[in-house]
Amino acid sequence: MDKITKRLQLIVLLCSLIPVTVQAQTARQIAQKAFSSVVLLAMEDANGQPISLGSGFFVREGVIATNLHVIEGAAKGYAKLVGQKTKYDIAGIAALDDNRDLVLLSIEGAKTPSLALGDSSLMAVGDEVYAVGNPQGLEGTFSQGIVSGIRRVGSDSILQITAPISPGSSGGPVLNSKGEVIGVSVATFSGGQNLNFAI
């Protein structure tokens, strides 16, 4: 083997040892990927009357994450992927965290990609974020902003964000610049300007 071939093999070997990191993506790329996993949640009472609309996203096949308050008081409901007509019945609750207003819902028959989870503890004020959801039932709304504050609530942190959210956005994912979920839209203060929060 000549020296050039040995050097090339060494370079290939060294390159294979470098850890692969997720690169930042454009807003368009993040939106396109998110829309394949984000759902509109429509909840109904025992008589089939609508009681709430919210958002959610797939965290694995057949499992959607959302806010617990989105499903409170509902007898049944369905999930519909952004931009699609097929409705998937909610089979039940897989897990819930009452303190953090989070719930995992089991969905029947849905085979969709899930969103990658990121590390919210790495977020800092000024970092870019994107909120995806269905504010006021406006399906597939994508908004951009920054982390404007990190608030302590007991032993947890809540991200204050400038990405606009409204009723109906609850339960939708908040993504970092790599398209990873770093929070779930949970609340907005209507009395203030751009005071939005993600758990």
Can you give the length of the chain in residues? Answer: 199
**Tokens matching residue 96:** 């819930």
Instruction: Give the span between the Cα atoms of 69 and 185, in whole angstroms.
Output: 12
Residue 3, CB-side half-sphere exposure with 13 Å CA sphere: 0
Q: Two tokens at 10?
A: 């060494």
Residue pair 146/123 in contact (Cβ under 8 Å)? The answer is no
Is 185 tagged catalytic? no
**Of the residues 101, 120, 143, 169, which is catalytic?**
101
Residue 63: burial class (beta carbons within 10 Å; 0-12, 13-18, 19+): middle
170 is an active site residue: yes
DSSP state of 8: H
| Annotation says 69 is catalytic | yes
CA distance 44 to 77: 6
Residues 147/133, Cβ–Cβ less than 8 Å: no
Of 52, 120, 166, 170, the catalytic one is 170
Q: Determine which one of 36, 69, 89, 127 is catalytic.
A: 69
Active site residues: 69, 101, 170
